[in-house]
């Protein structure tokens, strides 16, 4: 006999069915397993009277999940009907869209499923009621899989960038990206009953800002020459001129980022024949002798002066052993790979950009940066002069009585140097730079000694 219950009698039967077994267990009793049929699971909480008569309890009138009517169904029938109904709905093709982009997909392929247990529990608590289906996405992995499937709707952000064209700082603006807001999409779908999930679903998007903004790149921009210095060289000294060109070319168009420490040696590299350097005069122990890479120090010294005039921070600098002719004493910077280096730091908020130019016996180095209201001048004081000596060296290749000057003499010096910075208001700040000592360069004469014993 199959008996239908009203909602009130269904709930009374459910309470009664749960109370009796609980009291038996509490008193320590033991009863043989029930022989009730499979339909008596979860929703078939039968009363003792029904068990005795072998009756199967059915859902009362008005029991629904969305548009699925479960009135008169047993527990197992209801569960099976819900499964089949949900399967059909979840496998219906829908269209996700954003602007002009569309994508056919099923809810199942999106990782969305009916929460069967929650639905059955709701029916057990509310028989005879029209209920809404409960949808779920099972795991974080399912959400990640959904994000991957919908990546065609996403667009990566583009960072702002710069390039230097014809000595101009050119900015490519940043572009925001977008990505699918999967959480919001799922919530939107879950709000509707499964039977009413629309066939076309608009995709909610989240803006993805660029990690490097246009404003951040604008800060780096340079707009003017902040330090420039020029020195002269003898073009007839072919090897020295060639070395100077190679070194200057290594500096040309070099970009130095804010906070970066520039190393002359690291930039120019070793002075070797393989890297294009030739033999020319270099200073060794106070004398000019032939050596690989002669002339490179003129490039480092010219750069040093451009750095001073650009009001940049000098990190490492050494003077020559003797004064040189191409810059004033106290304003030179000797280098010798890899031991002696010239270094300075970009202590500004913007990029620095180096330009070098070598032509017609003139070397010019420029440092581009951001224009300020400051100007710089260099002041020097010769603290002491040291006379040079004349050294005569017998030369058996010269006829007796002949004298040839091999090296001119130059006084030694002790020089103090300052940098004076003047701001837009006219206020001046004087900064001590260095106290440099230069040994005298002896005058060397070769005296003919041919035929002399």
Structure confidence by residue, pLDDT tens digits, 140-164: 777 888 889 999 999 999 999 999 9
Residue-wise pLDDT for 36-73, tens only, equals: 444 434 444 433 333 322 356 899 999 999 999 999 99
Q: How confident is the model at residue 185 (pLDDT cuts 50, 70, 90)?
A: very high
Write down the H helix ranges in 111-237: 116-125, 140-149, 182-191, 214-220
23 and 145, same structural domain? no
Q: Cβ distance 439 to 402 under 8 Å? A: no
pLDDT at 453: 63
pLDDT above 90: residue 139: no
Structure letter (DSSP) for residue 158: B
289 and 162 in a common domain: no
Helix (H) / strand (E) containing 159 = none
The stretch 370-383 carries a mean pLDDT of 97
Residue 74 near residue 56, CB atoms below 8 Å: yes
Q: Are residues 116 and 183 in the same domain?
A: yes
- pLDDT value, residue 404: 95
Residues 350 and 382 in one domain: yes
Residue pLDDT, tens place only, 223-248: 999 999 999 999 999 999 999 999 99
- Which of 154, 180, 213 delimits the end of a domain? 213
In the predicted model, is pLDDT for residue 296 greater than 50? yes
Final residue belonging to a domain, choices 192, 213, 234:
213
Alpha helices in 273-387 (DSSP H): 296-309
Residue 387 and residue 272 in one domain: yes
400 versus 141: the higher-pLDDT residue is 400
Of the two residues 408 and 285, the one the predictor is more confident about is 408
Q: Are residues 376 and 323 in the same domain?
A: yes
DSSP strand pairing (2-4 vs 362-369): unpaired
**Rounded mean pLDDT, 348-371:** 98
Do residues 304 and 317 make contact, with C-beta atoms less than 8 angstroms apart? yes
- Domain of 327 in residue numbering reads as 222-450
Looking at the structure, tell me whether residues 99 and 158 fall in a common domain: yes
Are residues 193 and 236 both part of a single domain?
A: no
Contacts with 48 (C-beta within 8 Å, 6 or more apart), sequence order: 16, 17, 20
pLDDT band at 35 (very low <50, low <70, confident <90, very high): very low
Same domain, 120 and 190: yes
Residue of 252, 251, 277, 278 whose CA lies nearest to 265: 251
Question: What pLDDT is attached to residue 11?
Answer: 47
Percent of the chain with pLDDT over 90: 76
Percentage of residues in the chain having pLDDT higher than 70:
87
Burial class of residue 171, CB neighbours in 10 A (0-12, 13-18, 19+) = middle
Query: What is the number of structural domains in the chain?
Result: 3
In this prediction, residue 138 carries a pLDDT of 67
Please tell me the predicted confidence (pLDDT) of residue 452: 72
Burial of 395 (0-12, 13-18, 19+ CB in 10 A): middle
My answer on whether 237 and 179 are in the same domain is no
Q: Are residues 196 and 306 in the same domain?
A: no
Domain termination residue (choose one: 171, 191, 213): 213
Residues 352 and 275 in one domain: yes
CA distance 303 to 299: 6
Span 278-290, mean pLDDT? Answer: 87
The torsion region of residue 74 among left (phi > 0), alpha (psi -120 to 50) and beta comes to: beta
Which residues are 438's β-sheet partners?
413
The burial of 110, by beta-carbon neighbours within 10 Å (0-12 exposed, 13-18 middle, 19 or more buried), is given as buried
Cα 221 from Cα 161, distance rounded (Å) = 11
Mean pLDDT of the chain: 88
Strands of 84-212 (E only): list them: 93-98, 101-106, 112-114, 130-131, 135-137, 161-165, 168-172, 177-180, 200-202, 205-208
Judged against a pLDDT cut of 60, whether residue 263 lies above it is answered with yes
92 pLDDT higher than 60 = yes
């Amino acid at each position: 006999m199959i008996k239908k219950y009203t909602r009130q009698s269904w709930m009374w039967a459910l309470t009664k069915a749960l109370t009796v077994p609980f009291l038996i267990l509490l008193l320590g009793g033991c009863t043989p397993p029930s022989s009730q049929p499979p339909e008596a699971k979860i929703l078939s909480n039968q009363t003792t009277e029904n068990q005795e008569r072998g009756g199967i309890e059915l859902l009362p009138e008005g029991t629904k999940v969305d548009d699925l009517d479960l009135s008169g169904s047993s527990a197992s029938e209801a569960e099976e009907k819900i499964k089949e109904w949900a399967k059909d709905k979840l496998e219906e093709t829908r269209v996700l869209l954003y602007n002009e982009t569309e994508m056919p997909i099923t809810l199942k392929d999106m990782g969305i499923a009916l929460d069967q247990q929650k639905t059955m529990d709701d029916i057990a608590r509310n028989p005879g009621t029209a209920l809404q289906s409960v949808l779920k996405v099972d795991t974080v992995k399912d959400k990640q899989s959904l994000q991957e499937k919908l990546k065609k709707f996403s667009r990566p952000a583009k960072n702002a960038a710069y390039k230097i064209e014809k000595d101009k700082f050119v900015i490519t603006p940043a572009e925001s990206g977008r990505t699918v807001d999967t959480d919001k999409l799922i919530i939107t779908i879950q709000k509707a009953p499964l039977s009413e999930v629309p066939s076309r679903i608009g995709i909610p998007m989240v803006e993805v800002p660029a990690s490097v903004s246009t404003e951040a790149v604008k800060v780096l921009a340079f707009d003017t020459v902040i330090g420039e210095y020029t020195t002269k060289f003898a073009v007839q000294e072919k090897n020295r001129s060639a070395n100077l060109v190679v070194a200057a070319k290594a500096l040309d168009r070099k970009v130095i980022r804010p906070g970066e420490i520039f190393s002359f040696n690291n930039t120019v590299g070793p002075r070797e024949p393989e890297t294009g350097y030739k033999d020319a005069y270099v200073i060794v122990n106070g004398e000019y002798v032939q050596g690989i890479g002669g002339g490179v120090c003129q490039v480092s010294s010219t750069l040093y002066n451009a750095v001073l005039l650009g009001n940049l921070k000098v990190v490492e600098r050494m003077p020559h052993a003797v004064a040189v002719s191409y810059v004033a004493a106290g304003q030179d910077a000797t280098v010798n790979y890899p031991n002696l280096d010239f270094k300075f730091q970009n202590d500004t908020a913007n990029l620095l950009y180096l330009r070098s130019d070598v032509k017609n016996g003139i070397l010019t180095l420029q440092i581009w940066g951001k224009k300020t209201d400051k100007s710089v001048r260099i002041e020097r004081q010769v603290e002491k002069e040291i006379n040079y000596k004349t050294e005569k060296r017998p030369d058996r290749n010269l006829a007796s009585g002949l004298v040839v000057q091999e090296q001119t003499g130059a006084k030694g010096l002790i020089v103090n140097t300052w940098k004076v910075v003047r701001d837009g208001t006219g206020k001046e700040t004087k900064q001590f730079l260095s106290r440099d000592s230069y040994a005298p360069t002896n005058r060397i004469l070769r005296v003919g000694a041919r035929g002399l014993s």
